[in-house]
Amino acid sequence: MGFLHEGHLSLVRKSKELCDVTIVSIFVNPTQFAPTEDLEKYPADIKGDIKLLIDEGVDYLFIPETKQIYTKNFQTFINVEELSKILEGQFRPTHFRGVTTIVNILFNCTNPDYAFFGQKDIQQVIVIKRMVKDLKLRIRLVICPIVREPDGLALSSRNIYLSENERKDAPILHQSIISAKKMINAGEKRTAIIIAEMNSIINSVSTSNLDYINIVEAESFEIVNELKPGNEYYILIACKIGSTRLIDNESIKIN
């Protein structure tokens, strides 16, 4: 959605590594924002974005106008039923319907062999992965690692909204994940115990207002009560720091 940072550029570099031609689309998608969310003030710097993409050697840049994507009397939406209801879907009920619709439209416009997404929005990736599978789309999804600031904060276009004090507090999300991983590696398998400790860490900063912490099975995205050997999971957080809503996650494999 533009206002590019190193996280976005890491996707570009992975595409250039694997593909002959790299296309970047930039489109701030109105259908994935609720009326109370930040569509109107979503950060933008299209000239800066274009310069960054030229410097990275991108072959094509696709920047459609809203009226080209959502023509008059637009009525057709794609919804991944169950995965879109949980976690982020509970807090942003219309979000994933907008995501899957625009991603499918962009796929149809560009006809890619590969599509590159960042792990930071992991539920979004899982929802898109399910759409690709269910609709028999001949596209290979590549999930690229989260890119972080030196203090652990996951890169996000929304980080620009953080005040100086809030920016100091924001790495608490990643710190709680690190603590959870240490507990798991030490043998703790009960997710309620792990989540309680993460809650305590996040609540230690006054600017935090937690939406959720959950641990889910990586493929099904089902919330679990106990971690089992041989399985892979995601530790998920959504939390407001001040008025800015941030998300973070980490994958972990249980030995």
Query: For the segment 136-152, what is each residue's pLDDT rounded down to a tens digit?
Result: 999 999 999 999 999 99
CA distance 242 to 85: 26
The radius of gyration of the chain from alpha carbons, rounded to an integer in Å, stands at 19
Domain limits of the chain? 6-144, 157-253
Regarding the domain delimited by 157-253, which CATH topology (the fold level of the hierarchy) does it fall under? Pantoate--beta-alanine Ligase; Chain: A,domain 2 (3.30.1300)
Q: How far apart are CA 8 and CA 58, in angstroms?
A: 12
Per-chain mean pLDDT for the chain:
97
Q: Which of 5, 8, 95, 174 is flagged as catalytic?
A: 8
Alpha helices in 119-219 (DSSP H): 122-134, 164-169, 172-185, 191-202
CATH architecture, domain 6-144: 3-Layer(aba) Sandwich (3.40)
Cα(126)–Cα(228) distance, integer angstroms:
21
Is residue 105 a contact partner of residue 77, using CB atoms and an 8 Å limit? Answer: no
The per-residue pLDDT for 38 is 80
pLDDT given at position 179 = 98
Q: Helices marked H in the chain — which ranges?
A: 6-18, 46-55, 66-69, 88-91, 95-110, 122-134, 164-169, 172-185, 191-202
Sort strands 140-144 and 60-62 into parallel, antiparallel or unpaired.
unpaired
Q: What is the pLDDT of residue 214?
A: 98
Domains 6-144 and 157-253 share a fold: no
pLDDT for the residue 167: 98
Question: Residue 37's pLDDT is what?
Answer: 87
Nearest to 188 by CA among 142, 156, 220, 235: 235
| Spatial separation of the C-alpha atoms in residues 210 and 221, rounded to whole Å | 20
Q: Which residues of the chain have pLDDT under 50?
A: none
pLDDT given at position 19: 98
Check if 8 is active-site.
yes
CA 164 to chain centre: 24
